[in-house]
Amino acid sequence: MFFGFAGALVLGGCSDADETVVTERSGPAQLGTSEPPVPAGQASPPPSVDTQGSATPPSGYTDGSGIDDGYPDLSPPVLTPEAERGETGARNVLVNFARAVELREYDQAWRFFNDTAKTRWSEKRFDALFAGLRDITVSVPSGRMEGAAGSSYYTSQAEIAATDPDGRRIRLEGPIVLRRVNDVPGSSAEQRRWHIEQFDLSVRP
């Protein structure tokens, strides 16, 4: 059986013909079909970037690779400041990260990492995790919010299933932890956005 990165973490890409499904085990939002849930009393975010309908894909999009084309643009939609601070803001990033992985926009997915995660996972190392897998499905269920030392954290117990090069199904599970700096004096706009800080998935039988 094939495992990337010494079997510690395996992710995979899928061809344009492969079916990709991203599911959330709780909550109404489904990746690619609707926005993250908005808590009561908060304004609904504007629609996300159309992931299907750009009339003219960039040059090279149909060359058969389908990897890191920059199409579609999976930048998260802008939320109200109140929504950005809570679970809606965290899931806004998490949903688009998972969508980027399924669409093999690995460079876009990697940009959701903060400096801590990027220190552990260089872009080259992150890309290498996806070699050889197909038929990916990603589950990013609702998680928990926590606060500590001027920051907010959101943890989702993610699951990724895929088919390895030998045609066998594999499954990975583990936490994805997002972090943002709270609205404290001296914090930058970038620090106050949600980013992925921890990405630890391991193979399950």
**Is pLDDT at 24 greater than 60 in this prediction?**
no
Residues 58-111: pLDDT tens digits? 565 555 567 888 889 999 999 999 999 999 999 999 999 999 988 888 899 999
Q: What is the rounded CA–CA span in Å between residue 101 and residue 139?
A: 12
Q: Do 135 and 19 form a contact (C-beta atoms < 8 A)?
A: yes
Kindly tell me if the per-residue pLDDT of 200 is higher than 50.
yes
Strand intervals (E) in the chain: 21-23, 134-139, 144-148, 151-163, 169-181, 195-199, 202-204
Domain 7-35+67-204 indexed as CATH 3.30.70.890: no
pTM of full prediction above 0.75: no
Say what the alpha-carbon torsion angle 45, 46, 49, 51 is, to the nearest 10 degrees.
Answer: 70
Residue 92 and residue 77: Cα distance in Å, rounded? Answer: 8
Average pLDDT over residues 111-118: 97
The candidate with the shortest Cα–Cα distance to 71, out of 53, 84, 89, is: 53
Asked if residues 154 and 185 have their Cβ atoms less than 8 Å apart, the reply is no
pLDDT score at 61: 57
The residue among 165, 121, 142 whose CA lies nearest residue 8 is 121
What pLDDT was estimated at residue 23? 46
As a whole number of angstroms, the distance between CA 95 and CA 72 comes to 14
Confidence band of 7 (pLDDT split at 50, 70, 90): very low
Contacts of residue 187, defined as CB under 8 A and 6 or more positions apart, other chains included, come to 181
> How do residues 141-197 score in pLDDT, each as one tens digit?
999 999 988 999 999 999 988 888 899 998 989 999 999 999 888 899 999 999 999
CB atoms within 10 A of CB 166: 9
166 versus 43: the higher-pLDDT residue is: 166
Label residue 144 exposed, middle or buried (CB < 10 Å: 0-12, 13-18, 19+). Answer: exposed
Write down the residue that tokens 């109200």 correspond to: 80
Asked if residue 47 has pLDDT above 50, the reply is no
Q: Which residue has the higher pLDDT, 100 or 30?
A: 100
User: Which residue would you say has higher pLDDT here, 126 or 152?
Assistant: 152
Residue 126 has a pLDDT of 87
